[in-house]
Structure 1
């Protein structure tokens, strides 16, 4: 009987002291709002795009707005960038931010075709009904401006 008691106590202690399983990481549930960035061939690593992308990511963490980026592949012309810009506008981006000469130049011909999408040109372009222009500035200032812009989408 004492062996049975020792086994029972051992089983009880094992059950009580057994570590809790680590909780499963929870998936982040994003809002149904997406901000997109169109850059030149250097992507988000370029000096002009890096603060924009950082500001978008900051806003995403705060508000759960989805953010994504796309690089213009091939010739860095307004015509070529226009195909990438139209692709973002058609892929459910609520706001498309453009940075770089070719992406910003493509705004004038593409933005009027997508009146329900908000476009932002960094450092150039002309304001249209659905296009805003943000002047290029110090990286920290740009990061703050873009974070605020994307946060307002939420």
Structure 2
């Protein structure tokens, strides 16, 4: 083998200077490409999904025209969101706009019923009255009331003693839906 290497060196030295430069440049280029290929970083892992993958269950909140700006809806919504993070149950809310009457509220309640909410929580007197008025149209939905008069309808009432009991009740309602 040593004889072969010596013969190769002698042959290269016999080349004109220009051929030596070209051969050396070609060898350096091949080495640079090889080193780049070997040292190239691996592809980064794909990014984690940014949106939550919710279950096929929705818990809905019906509020008066103050929506989430007033109590008890604000506290109910906070409890619903806490439960949503834990259970991956989708939560949404709908405010009754226009006249704050049972008849007008019934339209909004029916909207939530038609959207196939698994749970509807009504927060406040008008939303609760609308829910108790239309409850027979959606017997498969679990109903919860926060404040208001349930008129003996099959509605679970959430304790309104403190903000913590409201939030805990809303969290439990959403968790039960999951």
Q: How does 1:54-93 map to 2 (within 5 A)?
A: 54-93=78-117
1:143 corresponds in structure 2 to: 167
Q: Is the 8 A contact 1:31 1:65 kept in 2?
A: yes
C-alpha displacement of 1:88: 0.6
1:128 corresponds in structure 2 to: 153
Normalising by structure 1, report the TM-score: 0.87
Instruction: Look up the SS of the partner of 1:97 in the other structure.
Output: strand
Consecutive unaligned residues in structure 1, runs of 5 or more: none
Consecutive unaligned residues in structure 2, runs of 5 or more: 1-26
Q: Is the 8 A contact 2:159 2:169 kept in 1?
A: no
Q: Is the 8 A contact 2:119 2:142 kept in 1?
A: yes
1:45 corresponds in structure 2 to: 69
C-alpha displacement of 1:61: 0.9
2:30 corresponds in structure 1 to: 4
Over 3 Å counting, the alpha-carbon distance change for 1:73 and 1:141 in structure 2 is same
| Structure with higher helix content | 2
Q: Which range is displaced more, 2-11 or 94-103? A: 2-11
**Higher RCO (C-alpha 8 Å, min separation 6):** 1
C-alpha displacement of 1:73: 0.8
What do residues 30-64 of structure 1 show as CA deviations (whole Å, max 9, x unaligned)? 22221100001111222321110011111111111
Normalising by structure 2, report the TM-score: 0.77
Which ranges of 4 or more aligned residues in structure 1 deviate by more than 3 Å?
A: none
Q: Is the 8 A contact 2:159 2:165 kept in 1?
A: no
Q: Is the 8 A contact 2:145 2:157 kept in 1?
A: yes
Instruction: Look up the SS of the partner of 2:136 in the other structure.
Output: helix
C-alpha displacement of 1:121: 1.2
Question: Which of 121, 128, 136 does residue 112 from structure 1 map onto?
Answer: 136
C-alpha displacement of 1:22: 4.8
Q: Is the 8 A contact 1:107 1:125 kept in 2?
A: no
Give RMSD over aligned pairs: 1.8
